Structure 1
Amino acid sequence: MIWLLVFTFVFYAILIVSLSIGFKNSPNYIPQNTETKTSFSVIIPFRNEAKNLPLLLKSISELKYPKNLVEFILVDDASSDNSIEVINNFLSVITNEEQGETFKDATRIDIKVIKNVRISNSPKKDAITTAITTAKNNWIVTTDADCMLPINWLNILDNFILNKKPNMVVAPVNYKVENNFLEQFQLLDFMSMQGTTIGGFGINFPFLCNGANFAYKKTTFLELNGFKGNNNIASGDDIFLFEKFIKADKKSVRYLKSPNAIVTTFPVKSWTDLMNQRTRWAAKTSSFSSLRVKLIGLLVLFTNCFVIYYLLTGSVKMMFVPLVLKMSIDLFLFLPTIQFFNHKSSFFKWYFLSSLLYPFFSILVILKSIFFKYGWKDRRFKK
């Protein structure tokens, strides 16, 4: 058993250190002096997001980008709350010149709301596909209704596109968290994914992305038949499309590492919602096309299993050894990641407790994704 433990942790250390080197080798993008040219169609699916839409809409109104070069398509996926009313109220305000200076620059924002057309088992993929059929611009940008957009978001994206000539752009997503265990635990999990995403690009092995900050050419999307082939899977509107673009032309898929490009979202507010959310994310992993990605998943799984095994059955001298070893290895990637996303002040306060719970949590998520249905947005899904 001890040799298997050593073997697993050596390979886990190689993986994490490689990703940390990749993170450091991925430089922050410095904008070049170019004229703004790119036209964007920003697609935002939503379902029962009345509480989150005001922050999103406010951030849209504050974007510093030529209004004639961007349209926003909000796709209503059968909302049963007052999401539509919230949007309509916002639109009525920005078109009323008597409302003062608050939304002065927003009076020319091109925002339209359309209904989702369901054709598959994946509501979000359907929503994006529905919007793309009406999008008037070639560059599609997706984000989520529970996000806040940075003021220069489209400016930095435009500059990156004009200078790097990609077909797809993956960009960073951050969490805005409170100082409590539930949200700090989610931050630990989410930062590991963000660090892994950036590190993968840095070692020329991109294998993760996030649909909350994602852009690609409509023409390439159509050439690759969009989500066809994976629309039976409820989640994965980002990763499966990402895999298609990678397979077609790996060099054309680029990562935009810039603080000005970070989209901010929020953690869920209950452990039940967290379990369902992570189960939804995990349910798609068995359908990844890359064998290397699946092997990475197995390596991480075995590492967590060893931590649990020794915590539950190890001697007093050994029970914490795998946990402390894993925590030490993880810091190689966590440290540059939390520095980039500016979470250093609160991170270490919760690091040990979060690391202690995480192996148990991750195994439960995997088991649930394999054997049980999961709920999300008042719907039930199979794997």
Structure 2
Amino acid sequence: MILLVFSLGLAYLWIGLKLASALKKEDKPATTPPDGFSLIIPFRNEDKRLHLVLASLTEQKLPDCPVEVIFVDDGSTDQSVALITNTIIPGIPIRIIRSAGEGKPAALETGRQMARYSWLITTDADMRLPTGWLANLVSFTDDKTDLVCGVTLADRSGFAGSLQTLETTLLMAVAVGMHRHGHPLSATGNSMAFRASSIASAGGFESVEGSPREDHAIYQRLASLGFVIKYRLGPGSLAQTPAEPTLTTWLRQRRRWFGSPMGLTPFVLFSMSVFSLVWFLFVWGLLSGSGWMAMTAFLFKLTGDLLIVQAFGRQTGHRTPLPTLILFELIWVVPLFLLLVNRLINPVVVWKGRRYG
């Protein structure tokens, strides 16, 4: 048992070092901007949160090319349309159109077909976008790139928010590290820039209709077809999404996140297995009263995660204090266990009134 614990722990450290090293490999920015960008924002009954993205757009540093914003209404019954109609964004024309279908992929596809420019940027209606977000994504689009992925973290407001910020920091850092290590894993659609012709040749956004996570599915589709994908890190590029306010809503969203097939290359499968087994040894040690096992597994996990978040922080300017990480590692065992049980009991994903699975 001692040999097993230390073998898995050392494997965890090795993976952490590999991902930390990959995070340092920043892609090169483009030298010539394209003809323009169409920012597509699907929305459905978001009048309580739309002010976040509207305020962010009014403060954006604009790139040296035309930009338009297309809001796509996915069947709203609240005051979302009126709120957008009464908003003026300096230097950016706004259009509001009705989705031709039902669901987010259909809304994105409607926006794609109505877009005027050769590059499409997608985000969500409840996002906080730093002033340099748009210019950061735009600066990495060139004639050899098909998709630029940004990074989104949960808003750190409050205790629950700070824990979810660390959770999303680790998830995004692992995703970026895996991608740059040659193993496409996942991406978030609330911070993406697509070449319009590339997404069209891949079948459009509706090619992933039925997936609970259309962003992850379209990223995996483009990666599997050999399209060139970049991840953009850097100070001022981190978008924020509201943290889930309750454990129930957190469980619902995370079930949706993990309800989509992953890109399981041998290295990804090995890494996920090691991550899970070290976490299991930590929990088993706690429950069985084996202090040495729990402490050893915890220290290996903490060190590996610290390597990853520190490398991520050096690239983005988003720092994670060690005491905060320690607290997170101790507390996050409980919601992860509840998520696992919840997923096993009911595999069906329900999101915004729609069922998947």
- TM-score, normalization by structure 2: 0.89
The 2-side partners of 1:165 and 1:130 are apart by 25
The 1-side partners of 2:344 and 2:121 are apart by 32
Match of 1:136 in 2: 116
In the TM superposition, structure 1's runs of 4+ consecutive aligned residues that sit over 6 Å from their partners are: none
Match of 1:208 in 2: 186
1:282 maps to which of 251, 258, 264: 258
Output aligned runs, 1:235-314, within 5 Å: 235=213, 237-249=214-226, 252-285=228-261, 288=263, 290=265, 292-314=267-289
Letter in 2 for 1:44: I
> How much does 1:77 deviate?
2.1
The 1-side partners of 2:35 and 2:148 are apart by 13
Does the C-alpha gap of structure 1 residues 67 and 7 become closer, same or farther in structure 2, counting only changes over 3 Å? closer
Letter in 2 for 1:57: L
Contact 2:13 2:303 in 1 (8 A): no
Output aligned runs, 1:346-361, within 5 Å: 347-361=321-335
1:369 maps to which of 343, 346, 355: 343
Question: More deviation in 299-308 or 197-206?
Answer: 197-206
> How much does 1:142 deviate?
0.7
Contact 1:243 1:289 in 2 (8 A): no
- The residue matched to 1:151 in structure 2 has which SS? coil
Does the C-alpha gap of structure 1 residues 159 and 230 become closer, same or farther in structure 2, counting only changes over 3 Å? closer
Output aligned runs, 1:101-140, within 5 Å: 106=90, 108-118=91-101, 123-140=103-120
- The residue matched to 2:307 in structure 1 has which SS? helix
Output aligned runs, 1:2-21, within 5 Å: 2-21=2-21
The 1-side partners of 2:54 and 2:292 are apart by 55
Letter in 2 for 1:21: S
The 1-side partners of 2:18 and 2:322 are apart by 23
Does the C-alpha gap of structure 1 residues 232 and 158 become closer, same or farther in structure 2, counting only changes over 3 Å? closer
The 1-side partners of 2:299 and 2:232 are apart by 33
The 2-side partners of 1:299 and 1:115 are apart by 46
Output aligned runs, 1:50-129, within 5 Å: 50-65=47-62, 69-90=66-87, 94=88, 106=90, 108-118=91-101, 123-129=103-109
Letter in 1 for 2:77: S
Does the C-alpha gap of structure 1 residues 3 and 248 become closer, same or farther in structure 2, counting only changes over 3 Å? same
Match of 2:139 in 1: 159
> How much does 1:339 deviate?
4.5
> How much does 1:380 deviate?
4.8
| Unpaired stretches in structure 2, ≥5 consecutive residues | none
The 2-side partners of 1:219 and 1:265 are apart by 28
The 1-side partners of 2:135 and 2:210 are apart by 35
**Cα shift readout 1:223-277 (whole Å, capped 9, x = no counterpart):** 1113466422222x22221122222225x21122222433232212222111111
- Identity rate, percent: 26
- TM-score, normalization by structure 1: 0.83
- The residue matched to 1:350 in structure 2 has which SS? helix
> How much does 1:282 deviate?
0.8
**Cα shift readout 1:7-43 (whole Å, capped 9, x = no counterpart):** 332322221110011112x2375x67x5644411111
Contact 2:36 2:117 in 1 (8 A): yes
Does the C-alpha gap of structure 1 residues 18 and 368 become closer, same or farther in structure 2, counting only changes over 3 Å? same
Output aligned runs, 1:211-226, within 5 Å: 211-226=189-204
The 2-side partners of 1:174 and 1:158 are apart by 20
> How much does 1:341 deviate?
4.2
The 2-side partners of 1:355 and 1:56 are apart by 32
| Unpaired stretches in structure 1, ≥5 consecutive residues | 95-102
- The residue matched to 1:320 in structure 2 has which SS? helix
**Cα shift readout 1:94-128 (whole Å, capped 9, x = no counterpart):** 3xxxxxxxx6xx1x522112223335xxx222221
Letter in 2 for 1:197: A
Match of 1:192 in 2: 170
The 2-side partners of 1:66 and 1:351 are apart by 36
Does the C-alpha gap of structure 1 residues 339 and 184 become closer, same or farther in structure 2, counting only changes over 3 Å? farther
